[in-house]
Structure 1
Amino acid sequence: MANSRIRSALRQSRRNNAAASEPEPRYMPFGYKLMLSYMLLTLVHVILFGYLANWIFVDSVRKQTSENVQAALRQMKDNIEYRMKDTVRLSDMIYYDETVASRLRRLNEGYYGYESVTQYLEPKFDSVIKATNHRIWLVVYLRNETLPEIYSFYNDSDPLTYAGKSYNMLYLKRIADNSWYKDFPPERYGVTMQWQQIDRDAEFGNISLLRRLVDTASFGRQLDFGFMRLTVKLTEMFETVSPDFGEGTSVRIEDGKGQILFERGAWTTGRIAQVGESNYLTITEPFQDLDWKLVASIPKEWVEKDAKKVKVLTAVIGSASFLLFLGVGGFLSRYFSKRVSRIVRVLDSFRHGSFHKRIRFKGRDEFSTISQSINAMAEHIDGLIQQVYVAGIKKKEAELESLQAQINPHFLYNTLSSISLLAKFGQVEQLHRMVSNLALFYRLSLNEGRTIIPVANELEQAKAYLDIQKVKYTDRLDVLFEIDPELLRYEMVKLVLQPFLENVLKHAWTGDRVHIRVAGRRIGDDIELRIIDDGVGMTPDTLRRISQFDDGEEAGYGIRNVHQRIELHYGKPYGVSIYSKLGMGTSVTIRLPCVPRTAPYVSSRAELDAGRRPE
């Protein structure tokens, strides 16, 4: 029977521990964490590889486009330089002609000057402008004012449009104050020349080749005797400039100051400035002997039009790869999470006090090793818990028996004292009744050595005790029982009511009468027993001292004994609470758990007196 009680207590303790355990914390399952990390890792790799593939392709397209455009610009530059050199060649026909130099430099008036102009200079100039198929305008400025000027009237229009091919011979003083002439660099024979847009060249879309006229035949010195200007059309000079690189492209020629000399294309520089240069791929090709450069601006969206297709293809391949990896990751995550979940469920059962579950995994891997270790640990812990609980329960039962052994002699001593007084005064009838009730009380108390008795037996013990006391106090003691019949289905620790009834009879008298009411009811899953009297009551200080249910001297011996036995058997939530007010009485509340009855009990006092047990 003792072993049965120990096992029952062990199961009850585990249930209490499980019920009192803290709510399980919320957490993300291992499978979700594994899947999430796998998804992030896969997504990062797919995005990274897709980005790198797209970047490599776009960079390759840009390089290929740049190389193609660079080659086209180089070809354009060569064609432009060829036409510029052709114009320089025309100027060389005059620049290096010593006869022209001597005729233009010699100061002779009259017929010689007329002869020089008509017989040599005009045919020379005419041969120069006829030596090319392009329109050209030749102007020679002279210091020698003995020669006549030759010029035409163009009605304030472009001489190349009006005359086509013509020449003028003017005095140098006409341009002496012009800035472009003053800033012309010092002469290096055969090298110094400039291409500039002077006067109204920019307005008419022309450009001029400027050179000095010098004579080196005079004692090795360079004599500056004039200036030469050859004007050509920009459209003819840059005829080969064509933005045939795609939609929205433009090609322009810039000088060293960043000014645009010529431009062709669907989008002009104004449009480029409006949209932003960052949206264009700019490629330049410098000229060899000039500070000019050929610039091509190509919209990046045109360059990268094929890149969009690659982006779509990359996105499709990346998405398919991601979904494939996701499926593989889901399978692996589910495979491992199932194993981890099984381990977690077993460990949760261990945490709630159940150590009978075991784990079994197929194969030889880390999970198999873990399962074997957990199974061994569970068996070991279960054995240790059994030992600890058995020792604890035995100790607890010993403490309960000790407390019970303490209270029985205490009650017996008080009762025997009363019997002694009755015998002394010769009250034989009352003495007989008290001894009979005492025998009945102890027969119920002993209860074959059981500490836990039915609630009905506890109430019978309380009634037997009060009957003993009525012999002593006769009509001065009035008792009322108000018990809910439902409580008779439960059991409780024995000798709970008697110490408080005894305490009332010892301390609660006010005058020569006292009324006691014993009430019992069920509240939820608990039993509430109350002992109420209309006695003298207690002061707050006395109530505070009595309510200290420790091992000190403050609380009453019987009160402390009952509270400790209830708490020791059922736990901290249960025990005794006292309310009292001086002059009004005291109310003692005893709270116990509803434990269904397992032990039999005697249903009537007549059967107890007969010594028979109910069937």
Structure 2
Amino acid sequence: MKERRNIRYISGRIWWMGMAVLALLVILTVTQAVLFFQGQGPIWNVLLTAAVLIGYLIAAVFWISRPYQQAEKTMERFLEGYMVMAGDGARAALLTPTTAEEMKFMEHFLHSPQMMDLNKRQAQYLALQNQINPHFLYNTLESIRGEALIAGLDGVADMTEALAKFFRYTITKVENLVSVEEELDNCETYFGIQKYRFGDRLNLHIEYDPKEYEKIMNCRIPKLTLQPILENSIIHGTELKIGAGNLYIRFACTQDRLIICISDDGVGMDEETLAALNRKLGRGNDSFGSPDEKKGGIALVNVNNRIHLIFGDEYGMHVYSVQQRGTDVEITIPITANDRDVKNRSVLS
């Protein structure tokens, strides 16, 4: 926060100095115009001061204001915890030559093999940490399932088996990319667990062009992309609706993109909430801030950030919603059947 206050303090100084110069030019131009109309000065004085005023305004906007805003935005992105993308520092108008050298060093360091290796090691550590004693969890669930079968509680046994399968996918499968088929299988497992709670009140529909089945199912996608959004649709959409609810996972292909739409016919959201959420998603890598958890934004932002990180900012998600009509979450990713074809392979573990 100290760095941000310093940036704004310097910005304030530049703004006040600029306004002072502008005020002087306006006064000078008006003065020359008054003298001209009173017959006490030549026309070229008015034209010259007016030209200087217009030139100053153009220079202030294009040479000072816009580049400085870009520099401030770049710095704020860094302060929010995201790496500065390559070239951002070069495009920004920096305060001093020393700042330019510091930015160049920072870009070189953040994109160095050592930094990438450190990020990989941290991710691997977290993945291993999340797997601590998973067999205890599976064995416990299997014991519960066995007791349920002995007691004749087939429903409890099936639910326990589904829960073990869901945890096994979530905890054990640590690679960054999986196939759409694997993600769908995990969604169906999760939905099967939810059916024990909602019964016939909840229905899941999966739609795609049969001619594109192999292409869609083999496409690589970040692990846990679909299930968190499906869960979000249930909790914040259909669960709050009176009566039965429907969930849809639709797939469509363009020449080089896969478009996935996860929809519900639940309560939807108002325009203000929708706009705020899409602004968060649209900001891409500078959206570390968390939207209101009660409105279900955290899962969406998390998935969207991972898509940006792996595939690039041109991919991601957008949300469409109408109150009492439902919500559509549209995800766009490149059609990739091999991890080696991913744009940012260095972020993969």
Provide TM-score, normalisation by structure 2: 0.51
CA distance in 1, matches of 2:236, 2:110: 46
CA distance in 2, matches of 1:440, 1:525: 33
CA distance in 2, matches of 1:540, 1:468: 32
Check whether the contact 2:253–2:259 (CA below 8 A) recurs between aligned residues: yes
CA distance in 1, matches of 2:263, 2:236: 13
Check whether the contact 1:407–1:558 (CA below 8 A) recurs between aligned residues: no
CA distance in 1, matches of 2:185, 2:228: 14
| Aligned-partner residue type, residue 541 of structure 1 | E
Instruction: Give the alignment partner of residue 445 of structure 1, picking from 163, 170, 175.
Output: 170
Which structure is higher in strand share? Answer: 1
CA spacing shift, 1:552–1:388, aligned 2, 3 Å: closer
Deviation at 1:446, TM superposition (A): 4.3
Instruction: Give the alignment partner of residue 391 of structure 1, picking from 107, 114, 128.
Output: 114
**Residue 577 (str. 1) matches residue 300 (str. 2):** no
| Aligned-partner residue type, residue 311 of structure 2 | Y
Counterpart in the other structure of 2:233: 504
CA distance in 2, matches of 1:505, 1:467: 13
CA spacing shift, 1:545–1:473, aligned 2, 3 Å: same
Report the 3-state secondary structure (helix = DSSP H, G, I; strand = E; otherwise coil) of the residue aligned with 2:260.
strand
Counterpart in the other structure of 1:611: none
CA spacing shift, 1:440–1:568, aligned 2, 3 Å: same
Report the 3-state secondary structure (helix = DSSP H, G, I; strand = E; otherwise coil) of the residue aligned with 1:508.
helix
Report the 3-state secondary structure (helix = DSSP H, G, I; strand = E; otherwise coil) of the residue aligned with 1:441.
helix
CA spacing shift, 1:574–1:477, aligned 2, 3 Å: same
Report the 3-state secondary structure (helix = DSSP H, G, I; strand = E; otherwise coil) of the residue aligned with 2:230.
helix
| Aligned-partner residue type, residue 439 of structure 1 | A
Deviation at 1:454, TM superposition (A): 1.5
Deviation at 1:552, TM superposition (A): 2.3
Counterpart in the other structure of 1:457: 182
CA spacing shift, 1:482–1:574, aligned 2, 3 Å: same
CA distance in 2, matches of 1:462, 1:480: 11
Check whether the contact 1:528–1:592 (CA below 8 A) recurs between aligned residues: yes
Q: How does 1:258-337 map to 2 (within 5 A)?
A: none
Q: How does 1:599-614 map to 2 (within 5 A)?
A: none
CA spacing shift, 1:588–1:574, aligned 2, 3 Å: same
Deviation at 1:404, TM superposition (A): 7.5
CA distance in 2, matches of 1:580, 1:402: 38
Deviations 1:69-119 (Å, cap 9, x if unpaired)? xxxxxxxxxxxxxxxxxxxxxxxxxxxxxxxxxxxxxxxxxxxxxxxxxxx
| Aligned-partner residue type, residue 257 of structure 2 | D
Check whether the contact 2:274–2:321 (CA below 8 A) recurs between aligned residues: yes
| Aligned-partner residue type, residue 539 of structure 1 | D
CA distance in 1, matches of 2:169, 2:312: 26
CA spacing shift, 1:467–1:476, aligned 2, 3 Å: same
Check whether the contact 1:532–1:587 (CA below 8 A) recurs between aligned residues: yes
Counterpart in the other structure of 1:566: 307
Deviation at 1:578, TM superposition (A): 0.4
Deviations 1:143-180 (Å, cap 9, x if unpaired)? xxxxxxxxxxxxxxxxxxxxxxxxxxxxxxxxxxxxxx
Deviations 1:175-205 (Å, cap 9, x if unpaired)? xxxxxxxxxxxxxxxxxxxxxxxxxxxxxxx
Gaps of 5+ in 2: 1-106, 132-136, 282-286, 341-349
CA distance in 2, matches of 1:587, 1:406: 34
**Residue 489 (str. 1) matches residue 214 (str. 2):** no
CA distance in 2, matches of 1:575, 1:459: 19
Q: How does 1:117-196 map to 2 (within 5 A)?
A: none
CA spacing shift, 1:403–1:580, aligned 2, 3 Å: farther
Check whether the contact 1:400–1:565 (CA below 8 A) recurs between aligned residues: no
Report the 3-state secondary structure (helix = DSSP H, G, I; strand = E; otherwise coil) of the residue aligned with 1:595.
coil
Report the 3-state secondary structure (helix = DSSP H, G, I; strand = E; otherwise coil) of the residue aligned with 2:192.
helix
- Report the count of equivalent residues: 204
| Aligned-partner residue type, residue 178 of structure 2 | I
Deviation at 1:492, TM superposition (A): 1.4
| Aligned-partner residue type, residue 499 of structure 1 | P
CA distance in 2, matches of 1:513, 1:470: 12
Deviations 1:34-56 (Å, cap 9, x if unpaired)? xxxxxxxxxxxxxxxxxxxxxxx
Provide TM-score, normalisation by structure 1: 0.30
CA distance in 1, matches of 2:235, 2:115: 37
Deviation at 1:398, TM superposition (A): 5.8
Deviations 1:13-65 (Å, cap 9, x if unpaired)? xxxxxxxxxxxxxxxxxxxxxxxxxxxxxxxxxxxxxxxxxxxxxxxxxxxxx
Deviation at 1:551, TM superposition (A): 2.5
**Residue 554 (str. 1) matches residue 291 (str. 2):** yes
Counterpart in the other structure of 2:192: 467
Counterpart in the other structure of 2:274: 543
Q: How does 1:13-412 map to 2 (within 5 A)?
A: 388-397=111-120
Bigger RCO (CA 8 Å, 6+ sep): 2
Deviation at 1:430, TM superposition (A): 3.3
Deviation at 1:389, TM superposition (A): 4.0
Report the 3-state secondary structure (helix = DSSP H, G, I; strand = E; otherwise coil) of the residue aligned with 1:439.
helix
Counterpart in the other structure of 1:480: 205
Amino-acid identity (%):
29
CA spacing shift, 1:487–1:502, aligned 2, 3 Å: same
Report the 3-state secondary structure (helix = DSSP H, G, I; strand = E; otherwise coil) of the residue aligned with 1:504.
helix
Report the 3-state secondary structure (helix = DSSP H, G, I; strand = E; otherwise coil) of the residue aligned with 1:524.
coil
Deviation at 1:450, TM superposition (A): 1.3
Counterpart in the other structure of 2:68: none
